[in-house]
Each structure stands twice: as C-alpha cells, then as structure tokens.
Amino acid sequence: MGKKILLTKIETREQDPRVSGDLVDCLTLSVLGSCLRKEGLHADLYVHELGQSSEDLLRVIDYKKPDIVGISVKIFNARESVKAGELINKKFPSIKIIFGGLQFDKFFANFFLKKYPFAKYVVVGQGEKTLPEFVYKLFNKKSLENTAGIVYKEKGKVYTNKLRAPLTKEELDSLPLPVTDLIEDIDFEKRKEKTVQIRTSTGCNAFCSFCYNQEGKWVGMDPERVKDYFKLYLDKGFSNFLIVDNNFIGPDQKRAEKIADIILNLRKEYKKEIKFQFDGRTDSFGTIREGFNHGLLQKLVDAGLYDIFVGFESGNEYDLKLMKKAIFKGQNVLDQHLFFLENVKKYEGKLTITPGFIMLNEDSDLTRVKQNIDFIHNNLEYQLSPNIYRYLLSFYPGSTLTKKKIRPVQNYPDFESITEKIFYGTLEPDYKRTEIAKYANLLKKVKERLYNSGRVISYLERERRFSSHEKEKIHNTNYKFFMKYVESIERGLGKKQINSIIEEHNDYFLNFLRGHASDIENLTNRENDSASKEILGLLKKE
C-alpha cells in the first residue's frame, strides 16, 4: 500500500447561532484533500468533533495508519491542536506531523517549532499549492530546501523558506472541487437542514489593523467556477450555504451580481430554495460618494441571501481610525456605517445584518465606550444577545496590532510568555486607563453569567420566535444594563454592588426565557447545544 496523509482538525466550538441549520464545517480539509489527490497522493480526512476524547483520535489514527498527519490550527483550537500533536507523537513517533492554518505566519511558525521539541513542520500561508509539494517531498525523502511556504526543523535547527505567493485568479479557478468524504455519511433527507461552506474568493482589499490579512490583495473566483461549487453540493442534496470569504464582494460588485444571477438560475434548475450568507463591510455596496448599489443587494436577496456579517467594530471615529477601517484616505467610516444602515432598512424582514464589534481596545476610554453602546442601541436594530456589548480586542498572528505588540518586547524576559499567549489567543490587552481595565474585568463577569442566555436568544431570534414588542424590550434592556455597568465604574462601585447589577441582568433574561421554555426544549433536542441545555435546566429547577 502507498504512503498516505490524514488531514484533521480538532473541533472545540459549538456552532455560531446565526448559521441556519447544522453547519458541516469541513471546507479546509476538503479543499486540501482534493489538491493532494489531484497530485496522486493518498489523503484521508477526519474531523475530531467536539466532545470526542483523545482516545477517539488515537483510535482513528491507529485504524487509518497514516505516514503523515496534517493538523489545521486556528485561534480557537490552537491549544487542543498542540495537545493532539503531542499525543500523536508520543503514541506514534514514526508519524510525521504537519501543522498549518491561520495561527502561523513566519514569526509564529518559528516560535512554535523552537518551543515544542516534537514539532518539525509548519505550512505558512495558503496550503493548496504548498501542501502537495511538501507531502510529496516528505514521502520521497527529498530536500525541503526550495519548498516555498514552509518552516521546518532538522537536527534541532529551524529553517524558514521564502513565502509562497498568494493564489492568482488563474490558480484559484483551476483548483479541483473539494472532496466530499466528510458529507457522504449524512442522511440524504437531512442534508436540506444542513449548511455547507464554500469559498469564492481569497484575501481582502482592506488593511484593518486587528486582522491577520494584511496583504490588501483580494482575488475573486470566476463566477462560472463558483457555479461548479454550488452544483457540487446541490447535487448532494444541500441548499444552505455559508460563504466563508473574508470579503465576498470585495472591490468587484459585477462579479457578485453575476454570482447572484447564477444562483437565481440554479434555483429554477433544481426547483428548490437556496439560502446563503456571507461576510462584508459597510462599503461593500458602495461608499457615500459612489452611492448605494440597491440593484446588487436586491438581486442577492432575491437569490437567497438572508444574512450578512458586517464588521462595524466601533461606533466612534477615533477607534475606527485606530483600527484602520477606512478603505480610502480621508474616509469617515462612522458616516459610512450610518449610510449603509440607512440603506439596508429597505430589506428588513428579508435580510439580517449580524454586526462584528470590538467594544474595547488598548486606548479606549469610558466616553468612547458609551459612544459604542449608544451606536449599538440607536443604529443596530434589535441586538438581542448581550454578547455584542462585551467583545474585546484579540491579537491575531500576522496583524499589525500583534506585530506592534511583539516588536518592543523581543529582548525582554517575558517575550516568550507574551508570544505564547498570542498564539493561544489568551493575551489580555494592556489598557492605558485603569477604569477601562476595570470595565474589561466587569465584562468578563457578564460573559460568565449571561453568555448562555445570549446564545439561546440568538438561536430563538434566528428562528423568529420573538414578537416585535419582545425584541424591542430586550434591546432596550441590554442598553440600560450596559450603561449601568459603565456608570458603576465611573461611580467607583464595589464588587458586591456590581455583582448585584449583573445578577439583576441575568435574572431578567431567565424570567424572559421562561416564557419560551417549550421553544428552548425543542432547541435542546434538535441542536444538542450546551447553552440551551443549561438554560433549560435552570428553568426547570425553578
């Protein structure tokens, strides 16, 4: 039997409640698997699901008997991925382990290989071209010296090869369709309830300082090739799609319109409703000076677009400039946010806008925090989950903010500790103001008490279980409590008084959800979500 590689990811998160239907999260493995097989390499795929034990992982590896294991790493599963690698190395020392994913730029790949003796190979950047070449050379014991896009270790020394250029449009269009191994076992009748991921572009044309994507290069797949991806899954019985592009529309609205036309025709061809969602910016449909492209958005909605995740990030211009959210010099991003929101009101009831928000950054003050809370309340209609109010800044490998964080401390004793925390997604922002540090700690307590309620509310909102009156009441209640939290810091209230406000907030949500106990029970039975189980248990106790 020929040599083979097993591609795996360690799932550590429950599904995003905004996604309609059970998400089949397998795109990365499926794309890389197809690229490996195109080059005649034997590739198996395995998703280690949330709740499975380490023994389950080792049993799969013992059964598959791969020569190489490839592990996909992101910020939310970095720690578990490293543990998995250590376990595999201990149990099967002859297996070579390749790490890759968004957690690795050249700097963090070097740090990782130097810190962990068992780790020897990392793919940096896009893996579609790099991984097949890398695996072929490992299988055939060829020199790795000229393999672009890898960092590797030999005899204790770490070597950093040149980066591989991002995929060109021609390369993106010519990639083989994803393999479907990970969806074949799903009952055909149940597939219409599932959501699958597809990718239609790479990169982003913006330079947000907190984002890992700093090349400013967006590459869009040809619409006719996008059609092949939709048809692949439609033929398999799926009709719900999560487009995972960093910026689906990017700088090419005409491409997006052609894709909308294609989906409209596919709805007729397959005689079924197609639903999809994607990520975008408030200037995706046009800037203030260009005007808003209602024709494009209307066509996308007609084709089945039901949700756009939009990175607002802040409700004040000072923070937005700090985050480099502008798409061109001199752009007032806050005005652009308001322009976008005013224009999408037309699609209320057909389209939801899910906002991305960063409530605090290292330079925040309480005045700007209140501006952010006001912005959410006054402009982002019916934000029912309290979770949007408490998202803090994260440091992603490769981002401008992360590089600024690392550069000044490279010769300090705590350099390794800071780098490790960034890699595992646990580094706390170093707030300039004491009151913001206190507010950040308060928000952590709010998360501990209200996170599950927020998830359940997001699920029920997705299923349209709330009346307009209920939604308005929750929206206003969240605003009232988060303003109370800020005021508690301004007034210097003690821990006991602050905890009392948090408990009052939590009690409000439990009392509200009591009226939806049957909906939550149905949700628990259907989604098997830990948050709904806990809330249902609390309601039954009372």
CA 74 to chain centre: 9
CB 69 within 8 A of CB 29: no
Within-domain flag for 363: no
Region 178-191 average pLDDT: 91
Q: Which of 112, 143, 160 is the last residue of a domain?
A: 160
Query: Does the predicted model carry a pTM greater than 0.75?
Result: yes
The average confidence (pLDDT) of the chain is: 92
Within-domain flag for 294: no
Residue 421 pLDDT level (bands cut at 50, 70, 90)? very high
Helical spans, DSSP H, in 463-529: 468-490, 495-514, 517-527
> Residue 40 is part of a domain; what is its CATH number?
3.40.50.280
Within-domain flag for 367: no
Residues ≥6 apart with Cβ < 8 Å to 423: 78, 103, 108, 111, 112, 397
| Type and span of the H or E element at 198 | strand 194-198
pLDDT tens digits, one per residue of 33-70: 999 999 999 999 999 988 889 999 999 999 999 999 99
Within-domain flag for 88: yes
Within-domain flag for 254: no
Residue 213 pLDDT level (bands cut at 50, 70, 90)? confident
Give the total number of structural domains in the chain.
2
Q: Which of 106, 131, 160 is the last residue of a domain?
A: 160
CB 353 within 8 A of CB 412: no
Helix axes 333-344, 366-379, angle to 10 degrees: 20
Within-domain flag for 287: no
3-class SS shares of the chain: helix, strand, coil, % to 5: 50, 15, 35
Within-domain flag for 276: no
Q: Which of 102, 128, 160 is the last residue of a domain?
A: 160
Residue by residue, DSSP assigns 304-345 as TEEEEEEEEE-SSHHHHHHTT--SSTT--HHHHHHHHHHHHG
Within-domain flag for 314: no
Domain of residue 51 covers 4-160
